[in-house]
Structure 1
Amino acid sequence: MASWLPLLWLLGLLPGNGYTRLTRATRPSTQAGGGSLYSLKVTLEEPRCNDPTACQLSASKKTLLCSFEVLYELGRHSLLRQDCGAVDTKMKDDKNETFSSFLPLLNRDSLSQEFSVKMVSLFKYFVTTYNRTYKTEEEAQWRMSVFINNMVRAQKIQALDRGTAQYGVTKFSDLTEEEFRTIYLNPLLKEGLGKKMRLAKSLDDPAPPEWDWRNKGAVTKVKNQGMCGSCWAFSVTGNVEGQWFLKRGDLLSLSEQELVDCDKVDKACMGGLPSNAYSAIKTLGGLETEDDYSYSGHLQTCNFSADKVKVYINDSVELGRNEQNMAAWLAKKGPISIAINAFGMQFYRRGISHPLRLLCSPWFIDHAVLLVGYGNRSDVPFWAIKNSWGTDWGEEGYYYLHRGSGACGVNIMASSAVVN
C-alpha cells in the first residue's frame, strides 16, 4: 500500500481528511513508456457535513464508486481521467426525467431504445443550437457518440453536486474530455512555478454581506479566448482593467493578445501563469487596448508599441487563502485574478456549483478566471466569476461557485496587480 499512498493523498482520498472515507481500493497498475500510468478504483463514503455554513449536504451519507487515471512523468503527477457515480443516486435531466443510473458508456447496443431516441434528439438540438457542421458522416457519428458519453458524464456530475448548479448541453458537448482540456484549459497552473509575488497586506475592515463590481463599472464585457489556452491572459487583463478603473476612473478593455504574443516566459495558447503575466506587463511598460492590439486567438509575432500603451502597473501581490479575507479585499480593492479546477465546467449551464472535493481537487487547478463579486442565493453563498468562453456559456458568460469551502481551489492562487 505504501507505494500508492502518495496517489491517495494527491487525490484527497486518505482517511481522516474530513471529506471522504476510503472503504475499498484496488491496487494501481503501472505501464512503462514515457512514464507510469496508475489506474485506481475506489469505493468512497462521504460523511455528514459538520459545518452547515460551508456545505449543504443531505443527512444521509453517499457511497461513491470512483475510478481515476493518473500519469506520473518527469517527477510530476497529472490527473488524466476521473469518473464517480453515487451508488444510491439516479440522474435527472432538466425536465426531471430519470435515466437508468450509470449506463455502460458508449455501448450503444446496451442502451435502451428510449434513451437512444432521446440522445439522438438532443444531439440534433445541439447541432442546430450551436451551428455545428461535420465533414463526413463518420465524423458526425463519432461526435454523436462523444455527445452521448458526455451527457452521461454530465448527469453523474449533476447527481453528485451539492449546490444548485445545472449541468447539461453546452457548446462543448461534442468534445472529448481530453480535447476540452487540451484546447481550453491551462496545465501550467497546477505546477505553480511562476514568479514569486509579495503577500498583500490583510485588511482590518470586515467583508460586506455582498458585493458585485459589475454594478460599479469596474468590469468589461465577457470575452472569448476561442480555441486557445490563454485564460491566464484574460484573467490578468480583467484584473488590471478593474485596478485601473479604481485608480484612474477609466474602464478600458485591454489586450490579451499582447500578452499571448509578447510574454516570452509563458506559453501563449499552451498555458501560462498570472504571476508571469504581471511581470511581463511591467517589463513591456504596460498594456495596449483591445482596439489597438486585437485578439486573434493564436500566437503571432509580438507587435507591441510603447507609444500605444494606455495602462501600466507598478507591482503585483498574492492574496492569502482565507475566503473571508479575500471577500474583504475584493470589496475594497477590486476584482481578483484566481485559478480553479475546472471540473464540471464543460457542462455547466447555470446555478451555484459545489462539487465534491475529491472530484474538484485544489491540487489540480487548470483554469484562470476573474473573481468579480460574491453574495448569497437562497442562503447558498457564492463567488461570481467572470469566465472567458463567451456569453453563450454559463450564465451569460459567468460561473457561480460555492463560497466558504475552498471549492475547486478557488482560494489557492488569488492575486492582483497594483496600480499606484
Structure 2
Amino acid sequence: PAVTLCGLSFTSTSLYSKQHTLYSFQLIKEGEMRVLLLLLGTVLLAVMAVEAKKYHPLSDKFIDRVNQYATTWKAGRNFNRHTSMKHIKRLMGVLPGSKYMLPEPLYVKEYLLTDLPPKFDSRIAWPKCPTIGEVRDQGSCGSCWAFGAVEVMTDRTCIHSKGTQNFHYSAEDLVSCCHMCGAGCNGGMPGGAFLYWVHGGIVSGGSFNSSQGCQPYAIAPCEHHVTGARPKCDEEGGTPKCVKQCEKGYNVNYKRDLHKGKKTYSLPNDEEQIMYDIMTNGPVEAAFAVYVDFLHYKSGVYKHTHGQFLGGHAIRVLGWGKENGVKYWQCANSWNTDWGNNGFFKIIRGSDHCGIESEMVTGLPTDPKFHN
C-alpha cells in the first residue's frame, strides 16, 4: 500500500529501501569516524615521538615537553644532564622473557574481594615493620630484580611474624649466587629470585657498608642523580663473586643463616586479586616497561606520554589509592631517596599500564617461628 508523506507518495517497499539506505549511510559514517579518530590518535603519537626525539632525553626541554602533555603527574630533574644513557639502561635489570619463569598464579574466592578499601598503604598497616618504608640503592648494577625480591621477602617475614622478625634478606647473596635467576648485575628474572628463595634460601644482609647481617651489599651507592657526595656511577660495574660465607664479625655461619620461603606464586592480572593479596600478606614485586619519561617522575600518578623504551624494571608495590580521581599503585623504587618522591612513586592502576599488573610475583616465609 502507498503512504503519503508531505505530499509525496511512497510504497512500503520504497520506504524500506530508503530507511535501509539511510541506516547503511549512518554505519558508514560511524565507521569512517572511528577510523578517523584512530588515525588522528596514531598521528598524534607519531608527532609526540618525533618531537621527543628532537631533544636529549635528559634535557630540560624534554622535561618541559613531558609536562606539557602529562595531565596526572609532574616531571622534574632526577638525573644529571650528563649521565650516560648506557648507565641508565643498565638500571633496567629485568631480562626479556622473564614472564616465562613466573610461578603459577594464586587466585582467591570472589567473595573475599567485596570489602577492599579505597586506599591502603603497607607502611601504615604494619607499623612494626619499618623495612616497608625503606628505599635501597642498587648502585651501578642491573639488580632491580633482586632488590624488589629481597625487599618483599624482608617485609613479609616481618609482617607474618607480627613484627618480631626483622630479617633483612641479602641482595648481595641473591645477585651473586642465583645463577638460575639470570646474569646478576646484567639482569635477572623476579620469578627466579623467589624460586631460589624457596628451594635454596637466602642469607641476611643490609645496605652497602652497613655491617648488617651475613652479606651486606658490596656495591656502593653512586650518584645516579643531579648532585651529591656519592661517587660517579660506573657503566660497567660487574657482578660480585658468589662467596658462601658471612663477613667477619657476624656470629652465624652462612648455612645457618640461610632462610627459605614456604611458597612462591604470581598474581593474576586482576586488580582486585592483587589488592587482596597486598592487604592480606604485604608488598609484592612487579616488573614493568620503563620509558624515558619515567626517569623524570617527581609527583602525581605516572602515565607514560613521551620517550623511547629503555627496558624492564622491577620495583615493590606497597598499596593503592586514588589521587584527583585517578587510581594508582603506591610503589617503592631502588634508586635511592633522591629520585622521584623520596624514592617512591605512583602509577596508574587497573589498566595494566606499562605491563605492571601482568608480571607480579611474591611468596610467603617458611620458618615455623615466623608463623602462628
Distance 1:237 1:16 in 2: 51
Q: Which residue of 1 aligns with 2:240?
A: 300
Q: Deviations over 1:39-91 (max 9, x none)?
A: xxxx725xxxxxxxxxxxxxxxxx33348xxxxxxxxxxxxxxx354xxxxxx
Task: Spell out the pairing of 1:371-386 with structure 2 (5 A cutoff).
Answer: 371-386=317-332
1:180 is matched by which residue type in structure 2? I
Q: Which residue of 2 aligns with 1:197?
A: 103
Find the residue that maps to 1:372 and give its secondary structure. strand
Q: Deviations over 1:333-373 (max 9, x none)?
A: 210110112222211122211124x9698xx8610000001
Distance 1:232 1:251 in 2: 21
Q: Which residue of 2 aligns with 1:318?
A: 266
- Give the deviation of 1:308 after TM superposition: 4.6
Find the residue that maps to 2:342 and give its secondary structure. coil
Find the residue that maps to 2:351 and give its secondary structure. coil
Distance 2:170 2:216 in 1: 6
Cα RMSD for the two superposed structures: 3.0
Q: Is the 8 A contact 1:162 1:355 kept in 2?
A: no
Q: Is the 8 A contact 1:222 1:390 kept in 2?
A: yes
Aligned: 1:346 with 2:261? no
- Give the deviation of 1:374 after TM superposition: 0.8
Q: Is the 8 A contact 1:160 1:355 kept in 2?
A: no
Aligned: 1:331 with 2:312? no
Distance 2:34 2:148 in 1: 31
Distance 1:360 1:247 in 2: 40
Distance 2:315 2:265 in 1: 16
Distance 1:376 1:309 in 2: 41
- Give the deviation of 1:201 after TM superposition: 2.4
Q: Which residue of 2 aligns with 1:185?
A: 92
Aligned: 1:171 with 2:171? no
Q: Deviations over 1:204-227 (max 9, x none)?
A: 322221111112234151100011
Q: Is the 8 A contact 1:371 1:386 kept in 2?
A: yes
Q: Which residue of 1 aligns with 2:152?
A: 239
Find the residue that maps to 2:334 and give its secondary structure. coil
Distance 2:288 2:53 in 1: 30
Number of equivalent positions = 291
TM-score, length basis structure 1: 0.62
- Give the deviation of 1:22 after TM superposition: 3.6
1:320 is matched by which residue type in structure 2? P
Q: Is the 8 A contact 1:240 1:417 kept in 2?
A: yes
Q: Which residue of 2 aligns with 1:404?
A: 350
Q: Deviations over 1:89-127 (max 9, x none)?
A: xxxxxxxxxxxxx7954xxxxxxxxxxxxxxxxxxxxxx
Find the residue that maps to 1:205 and give its secondary structure. helix
1:288 is matched by which residue type in structure 2? S
Q: Is the 8 A contact 2:150 2:169 kept in 1?
A: yes
Of the three residues 133, 138, 151, the one matched with 1:225 is 138
Structure whose alpha-carbon radius of gyration is higher = 2
Bigger mean CA offset, 375-384 vs 190-199: 190-199
Unaligned 5+ segments in structure 1 are 1-14, 24-42, 46-62, 68-82, 86-101, 106-145
- Give the deviation of 1:380 after TM superposition: 2.2
Distance 1:211 1:17 in 2: 39
1:352 is matched by which residue type in structure 2? V
Task: Spell out the pairing of 1:97-246 with structure 2 (5 A cutoff).
Answer: 104-105=54-55, 150-163=59-72, 165-181=73-89, 183-186=90-93, 188=95, 190-192=96-98, 194-203=100-109, 204-206=111-113, 207-215=116-124, 216-217=126-127, 218=129, 219-246=132-159
Distance 1:172 1:330 in 2: 35
Distance 1:367 1:104 in 2: 25
Q: Is the 8 A contact 1:158 1:166 kept in 2?
A: yes
Find the residue that maps to 2:175 and give its secondary structure. helix
Q: Deviations over 1:291-324 (max 9, x none)?
A: 1211123422212344352632022101000112
Which of structure 1's runs of 4+ aligned residues deviate more than 6 A?
A: 15-18, 358-361
Distance 2:33 2:319 in 1: 33
Unaligned 5+ segments in structure 2 are 1-31, 207-211, 220-237, 246-253, 367-372
- Give the deviation of 1:271 after TM superposition: 0.6
2:304 is matched by which residue type in structure 1? P
Find the residue that maps to 1:287 and give its secondary structure. coil
Q: 1:268 to 1:312 in 2, by over 3 A?
A: same
